[in-house]
Amino acid sequence: MVISQVGERLSRVWHPRLGLQAGPYSRAYGVDPRKYICLMSVLMSALEIRAAGPGHLNQNTTHLHDLYFFPLFRRVCGPLRQQLQLAEATTARRHEHTYGSARAVSVVEPTHVIGWESGRRDRFALDQYAPFAYYSTDGFLAVRTRQDTDWVDIEEIGRHVYRITMQRRSDPDVVHETAALTVVASSSPVIND
């Protein structure tokens, strides 16, 4: 049952042309998928599905050790491959999921994927958190949290229009008077060729 649910969800949020799943990303090692290894790309590659990743590998490739999972995924994830119904994004697909107080939304459209989240109020892996991510054939844009950020909410207020609300941490070791986010952008297309 779990495998069929994972297959169904992944089929909704995977963009075959970009080789990416729509965000948001609670454990992103970066926002440019060509610069680091992520387990999702390793999994999809083990299932013989093209996935975005670095063009070459060397000792500086972030999370290179995640490639050690490839043989394991190759052996045990065959049943998942049978559950995937991957299709080109000719029309918009939307997936919403709630985890406790957090609500994640993923959208797959013909030329891009978008993901955002609201309601997350824990600090687990906050340094790897990207509450908003947009990837397209034209480039990408993502919002990352910083150490002084307590929480971030992204709200869709119109088609491709979003509002960011955030709060600064109030711990004694925080010296800034405002909360800060990092916006990462690139005009380099993310295409899985």
- Predicted TM-score (pTM) of this structure: 0.86
Q: What is the C-alpha to C-alpha distance for residues 192 and 51, in angstroms, rounded to an integer?
A: 6
**Helix (H, G, I), strand (E, B), or coil: what is residue 141?**
strand
pLDDT in tens, 161-184: 999 999 888 877 766 676 778 887
Give the count of domains, the chain. Answer: 1
Residue 169 DSSP symbol: -
CA atoms within 13 A on the CB side of 112: 14
- pLDDT tens for each residue of 80-109: 999 999 999 999 999 999 989 999 999 999
**50 is a domain residue:** yes
Q: Do the domain assignments include residue 191?
A: no
At residue 14, the pLDDT reads: 95
Domain of residue 147 covers 2-186
Residue 42 clears pLDDT 70, i.e. is over it? yes
